[in-house]
Amino acid sequence: MPNHLTLAVAGGRKTQGLVDYCREATDRKIAVLTFTQTNQQEIRSRLASQAGDSNTMEVMGWYTFLLRHFAQPFLRFKFPKDRVKGFDFEGRPFKFATGRSRFMDSGDRVYGCELGKLAFELMEATPTLLRRLECIYDKILIDEVQDLASYDWEILEVLLGSKIDVRMVGDVRQAVLSTNPRGQKNKKFGYAASLEWFRDREAEGLLTITYATTTYRCRTEIATFSDTIFDATWGFPDTTSENFDATEHDGVFLLHTQHVEEYVGRYRPQCLRHSVNSAKHLDLDFQNFKGVKGATFERVLLAPTTNIESFIKKGAHLEATAAAAFYVAVTRARQSLAIVVDKPGESKLPVWAP
Amino acid sequence: MITRIHIRGYRIYKDFNLLPNPKMNILVGGNDAGKSTLMEAVSLALNGRIGGRSVLEELNPHWFNTELVKEFLAERAAGKKPALPEILIELYLRDDDELQVLCGAVNTAVPTNACPGVFLRIYPNEEYQDMLDDWLKTPNALLPVEYYTCEWRSFADRELTKRPRVLSVATIDSRTVKSSAGVDYHLRQILSDHLETTEKAEISLGFRTVKASMTDGALATVNTRFSTLGASLLAEPMALAMDQTSRTSWESVITPHVDNVPFSMAGQGQQAAIKISLAMKRHSAKVKIVMIEEPENHLSHTSLTTLLDRVEKLASDDQQLFVSTHSTYVLNRLGLNALHLLNRNYASKITALDPGTVRYFQRLPGYDTLRLVLAKKVVLVEGPSDEIIFERVFHDVHGLTPMAAGIDIISMRGLALARCLELCAAVDKPVAVMRDNDGIEPTDLRVSVEKWLDGTKRELFIGQVSDGRTLEPQLITANGESHLREVLGITPKADLVTWMTREKTEGALLIAESPKALSAPNYMKEAAEFIQNA
């Protein structure tokens, strides 16, 4: 049972780890599964430049994986007369839809939000499905595994028990993109709580977990601050930083609204906010927390949500999802992070002023 | 390896199934029984192309099963709304590990069954629904194939763009090369598959260099002259150069030579032999499926023997062979147990033939088993004289020739009766057998073949010992000596039995053609009755 999970911190070169692994194992049939288009492009181009041409490696999205190896070949084990004609990412079945209309729209396109359930049920319906996968792939690598949602966990559990060697990298602290935001099943595993799930599987002997705690991106100040986002009961090990670059402005700072303009003019940070609805009082060139996953910026300016503000002022911990989103935003920065807070409260962070 | 071929709506196949043997498959059938169509369909589903061209390019209304089209038109005329006819060819493959990528349940198997496989489907294109609706107002037997489209997929519902690597196939047709290129499509594919990628690259590069040197050499002087010609529109320089586009790639000019003679000029038998060797003996990517069409064409008996030897020797355990043939020799040699009898929409296959019997006919490859297999009903007799007499008896009883009744009379010529009966049983052929008693009680003679006889489809008929040991005395007993002497027109001096035994065939012919009445021995009459009703 050589399954393996590496839980890395942000900036821990997770993706590079996968690429390195592929480069070593050129003789095996490998599927590399990811959750975002950008991530797929990234891995493809890195593989092409670093691992050379190989026809034993396939990079695809999780949805593609479920469509190509579950839904398309085996749909008839649930609906003997039907075929999958496509994928409906946006659509949703009616609340009480049953049978085929639960899973597919009128054009026989599978609903994105029901694909996991369908895939899992097909897996249950016929042993051929798993046997087929075992013959096609020696290894399945999953990037950003924390983004699995609802039925995906059931599928992963079966894969962990199969002949296929499953290698996963992820960072439960940055689980912000769920593949199925509205799926109810396995809510308890969703988001950052997936850590518990992995630890249980490890206890069952299904996989081993290693922690990669070095960040090559964030300076120590930022890394240390990011460690405080989740409270100690999570048991995450501390992050160490390998970024020793020094500039004229390094570290984590609080920033008064009145100094924002000045600050932006001087350091040109990437401005981040939770979503379009937040930080409306600031007229800056924002990107949203969720949209910057995987990105690196020299400097970051962050407009906090009310909860983040109270975390900074009073040390009140965020709930898991919000914490994960905040963690992602914080750990984008290499050198400096400024958080727009007018009253520092109990925070010991230095306040920046011109 | 193909485990099931399912064809629906393609040419003569309305809804056809064949379960091939793992190794050897010999397809026999009368003319028009669909041997070539079957091979064509298999190759179509394996390659997604036909004769190297795309399906839609070649598609024409005659691809569709006429019966289905007729039914469609009839239903249409009756005011119903049947779906337009479609073509579906499915190849079910063995559940091997290496084939799993093709595994899925997108096939017509009921109940739902997932196994590796590929299918090709030709169906009306929804995008042209308006035009199709238009056409449907006045439908006719020529389907509007322009509005059809085609999908070629694995059972996993994945579109195939080229033949899956795990399904290498070689087709060896008996047509000889006539094309000016010297290498036909099949041979080109075989050649190409035979070469390693690096070898191909080397040849391609070398050929380019040769072409370039031609441009720099012989054409250089011509080009100097051309440059002063000012032939082009705006006096740009014009020059001749070797065509370096893919149209003139090495494949089109490099052809195999045999004994310094180009392949296309080689003897037809030689061509077939070379194709078979090239196709079956590949060092890399071993070919999994080999299809040979009528290997007996263009070959002398000796060449055919050599060729079949080669096929047998080259065939490996993981190769599946499909051989269509009209030749009994080929059938017997490659093994009767591999036989598939095609009869348009139906295929029957020999089941459970004793290996001893297979070997028996392999040793006697000249024996006309194919005739036995292809006949509707069979009467087995000992020799030519029995054959001739029975024909007359049958005509006397039924007023028509056995041929007209679909009955083929075959002489066993010393062949073991049990073997012949076993073969008849294996192909479920109605048969009446007649033999001499040679002085032994008919009941005793029955014992050894009893298990093949069922009294309704297969039966043995033997004359009583008291009526004579062989056909001739039996005839004398039935007709009386004087009547026969008259029929045969022999002198009183000659002994009738001796004469008839000596002039067996001659005598039989005289009796058969005689206008005088003939009383048939009872066992012959019974046989004639039996086979007509069997």
B181 has a pLDDT exceeding 60: no
CA distance B106 to chain A (A): 6
* pLDDT value for B121: 97
Q: Which residues in B lie closer than 8 A to residue A132 (C-beta atoms)? A: 100-101, 103-104, 114, 156
Give, in order, the Cα–Cα distances in Å from A298 to each of A166, A176, A248, A267: 34, 22, 12, 10
pLDDT at residue B494 greater than cutoff 50: yes
pLDDT in tens, A129-173: 999 999 999 999 999 887 787 888 899 999 999 999 999 998 867
Give per-residue pLDDT as tens, A53-87.
667 889 999 999 999 999 999 999 999 999 999 99
- Rounded to the nearest 5°, which phi and psi values hold at B283? -80, -35
Residues 6+ positions from B2 with CB-CB distance below 8 Å: B20, B42, B91, B92, B93, B94, B289, B320
Tell me the shortest Cα–Cα distance from B118 to chain A, in angstroms.
12
Instruction: Check whether residue B16 and residue B145 sit in a common domain.
Output: yes
B61 plus B123 within the same structural domain: yes
CA dist A174 and A146 (Å) reads 8
Helix, strand or coil for residue B184?
coil
CA A39 – CA B525 distance, rounded (Å): 87
Residues B238 and B128 in one domain: no
DSSP string computed for B253-304:
H---EETTEEGGGS-HHHHHHHHHHHHH--SSS---EEEEE-TTTT--HHHH
From residue A327, how far is each of A132, A210, A310 by CA, in Å? 39, 20, 15
- Distance, CA of A112 to CA of A109 (rounded, Å): 9
pLDDT at A194 over 80: no
pLDDT band at B180 (very low <50, low <70, confident <90, very high): very low
Q: Is residue B354 part of a domain?
A: no
Which residue segments constitute the domains of chain A, with CATH numbers given?
A: 4-212 (3.40.50.300), 243-352 (3.40.50.300)
Q: Give a yes or no: residue B269 inside a domain.
A: no
pLDDT at residue number B162: 84
- Which residue of chain A comes nearest to B155, CA vs CA? A73
Nearest Cα residue to A117 out of A164, A155, A89? A155
Among A268, A224, A262, A261, smallest CA distance to A247 is for: A268
Query: Taking CB atoms and an 8 Å cutoff, what residues of chain A touch B111?
Result: 80
B interface test, pick of A129, A132, A138 with most B CB neighbours within 10 Å: A132
The whole-number pLDDT of residue B247 equals: 65
Length of chain B, in residues: 534
Nearest to A74 among B110, B114, B158 (CB): B114
CA dihedral B21, B26, B29, B35 (to 10 degrees): 90
Query: Which residues in chain B touch residue A125, judged by CB atoms under 8 angstroms apart?
Result: none
- B415, pLDDT greater than 90: no
Give the chain A residue whose CA is nearest to the CA of B96: A135
- Give a yes or no: residue B413 inside a domain: yes
Q: Say whether both B402 and B502 belong to one domain.
A: yes
Contact residues on chain A for B155, CB-CB shorter than 8 A: 73
Sequence-ordered alpha helix ranges (H) in B78-161 = 129-137
| Position B234 confidence tier, pLDDT thresholds 50, 70, 90 | low
Element (H, E) at B24: strand B24-28
Least Cα distance to A189 among A132, A116, A93 occurs for A116
Going by C-beta distance under 8 Å and a sequence separation of 6 or more, which residues neighbour residue B117? Answer: B90, B91, B92, B93, B102, B103, B104, B107, B154, B155
How far A74 CA lies from chain B's nearest CA (Å)?
5
B151 vs A contacts (CB less than 8 Å): none
Alpha-carbon distance of B480 to B474, in angstroms, equals: 10
Q: Which helix (H) or strand (E) holds B377?
A: strand B377-381
Task: Give whole-number Cα distances, B130 to A85, B127, B349, in Å.
Answer: 21, 8, 46
Instruction: Give the pLDDT band of residue B174 (cuts 50, 70, 90).
Output: low
Q: What are the residues of chain A with a beta carbon less than 8 Å away from any beta carbon of chain B? A: 68-69, 72-77, 80, 83-84, 126, 128-129, 131-132, 135-136
**H-type alpha helices, B300-383:** 301-314, 328-334, 355-363, 369-374
Question: Which residues neighbour A250 within 8 Å (Cβ) at sequence distance 6 or greater?
Answer: A219, A221, A335, A336
- CB-based burial of residue B416 (10 Å sphere; 0-12 exposed, 13-18 middle, 19+ buried)? middle
Q: Which of B327, B47, B281 is nearest to B163 (CA)?
A: B47
> Based on the domain organization, do B153 and B203 belong to the same domain?
no
Q: Are B323 and B314 in contact (CB under 8 A)?
A: no
The confidence band for A1, taking pLDDT boundaries of 50, 70 and 90, is: low
Location of structure tokens 């922690």: A211
Q: What is the pLDDT of residue B122?
A: 97
Residue B60 sits in the same domain as residue B135: yes
Residue A316 clears pLDDT 70, i.e. is over it: yes
Of residues A126 and B186, more confidence is placed in: A126
pLDDT band at residue B216 using 50, 70 and 90 as cut-offs: confident
Partners of B341 in the β-ladder = B28, B348
**In terms of pTM, does the model score above 0.90?**
no
CB contacts, 8 Å: A73 with chain B: 103-106, 114, 155-158
The alpha-carbon gap from A125 to the nearest alpha carbon of chain B, in Å, equals 11
pLDDT score of A53: 63
Of B263, B287, B319, the position where a domain reaches its end is B263
Rounded to the nearest angstrom, the gap between the alpha carbon of residue B448 and the centroid of all alpha carbons in its chain is 34
- How far is the first Cα of chain A from the last one, in angstroms, to the nearest whole number? 58
Let me know the angle formed at the C-alpha of B170 by B168 and B172, rounded to the nearest 5 degrees: 175
The shortest C-alpha distance from A27 to chain B (Å) reads 15
Helix/strand/coil for A84:
coil
CA angle (A346, A285, A258) in 5-degree steps: 40
Determine the residue among B92, B95, B99, B112 to mutate to test chain A binding: the one whose Cβ has the most chain A Cβ atoms within 10 Å. B112
B389 with B443, same domain: the answer is yes
Do both B145 and B210 map to the same domain? no
Range of the domain at B99: 2-21+48-161
Q: Which of the listed residues B216, B233, B263 is the one where a domain comes to its end?
A: B263
Please report the pLDDT score of residue B282 as a whole number: 59
Nearest to A73 among B98, B106, B110 (CB): B106
For residue B203, count other CB atoms closer than 10 A to its CB.
Answer: 15
Say if B288 falls within a structural domain.
no
Percentage above 70 pLDDT, chain B:
95
Nearest to B106 among A83, A129, A135 (CB): A83
* Residue B56 sits in the same domain as residue B115: yes
Per-residue pLDDT, B362: 86
**Residue B427 or B521, more confident:** B521
Residue A125, amino acid = A
Q: Report the chain B residue with the minimal C-alpha distance to residue A83.
A: B106
Give yes or no for residue A181 having a pLDDT over 50: no
Interval B281-290 mean pLDDT: 67
Measured CA to CA, the distance from residue A236 to residue A266 in angstroms comes to 35
Is residue B379 in some structural domain? Answer: yes
A276-301: average pLDDT: 87
pLDDT tier, A179 (very low <50, low <70, confident <90, very high otherwise): very low
B511 shares a domain with B389: yes
Position B412 scores a pLDDT of 84
Band (pLDDT 50/70/90 cuts) for residue A188 is: very low
Q: Which token pair is A152?
A: 């995906």
Give the 3-state secondary structure of residue B346: strand
User: Is residue B429 one of the residues assigned to a domain?
Assistant: yes
Question: Looking at chain A, how many residues does it have?
Answer: 354
Considering its fold, how many domains does chain B have in total?
A: 3
Secondary structure of residue B282 in the 3-state scheme: coil
Q: Is the pLDDT of residue A219 over 50?
A: yes
Q: Nearest CA to CA, how far is B127 from chain A (Å)? A: 14
Most confident of A117-121, B184-188, B221-225, B414-418: A117-121
Q: Is the pLDDT of residue B432 over 90?
A: yes
Phi, psi of B214 (to 5 degrees): -65, -45
Given an 8 Å threshold on Cβ–Cβ distance, is A135 in contact with B98? yes
Examine residue B310 and state whether it is found in any structural domain, yes or no: no
Q: Is the pLDDT score of A186 beyond 70?
A: no
Q: Which two tokens stand for residue B269?
A: 């038998």
Residue B118 phi, psi dihedral angles, 5° rounding: -135, 155
Q: Can you give the three-state secondary structure of B54-80, one letter per residue? A: EHHHHCCHHHECHHHHHHHHHHHHCCC
List the single residue in A72, A77, A80 with the smallest CB-CB distance to B156: A72
- CA pair distance A170, A8, nearest whole angstrom: 6
Cα dist from B517 to B396, B479, B495, B533, whole Å: 9, 9, 22, 24
What's chain B's average pLDDT?
Answer: 86
Average pLDDT over residues A7-36: 84
What span, in angstroms and rounded, lies between the C-alpha atoms of A19 and A151? 27
pLDDT of residue B263: 76
**Rounded to 5 degrees, what are φ and ψ at B154?**
-85, 170
Q: Least CB-CB distance to B105: which of A69, A77, A136? A: A77
Asked if B155 lies within 8 A of A129 by C-beta distance, the reply is no
Contacts of B354 (CB under 8 A, 6+ apart): B422
For residue B501, tell me if it sits in a domain. yes
Nearest-CA neighbor of B242 among B255, B261, B223?
B223
Strand order across the A30-34 sheet: A57-61, A30-34, A139-142, A165-170, A4-8, A208-212
Residues of B in contact with A129 (CB under 8 A): 114
- pLDDT tens digits for range B90-124: 999 999 998 999 999 999 998 999 999 999 999 99
What is the complex's ipTM, to 2 decimals? 0.79
Q: What Cα–Cα distance (Å) separates residue B343 from each residue in B254, B336, B337? A: 41, 17, 18
Provide the pairing of β-strand B346-349 with B339-343.
Answer: antiparallel
In three-state secondary structure terms, B122 is: strand
Contact A286, A279 (CB under 8 A): yes
Residue A203: count of CB within 10 angstroms of its CB = 8
Predicted pLDDT at B520: 92
B93 and B10 co-located in one domain: yes
Peptide bond into B111 cis (omega under 30): yes
Tell me, yes or no, whether B142 and B227 share the same domain: no
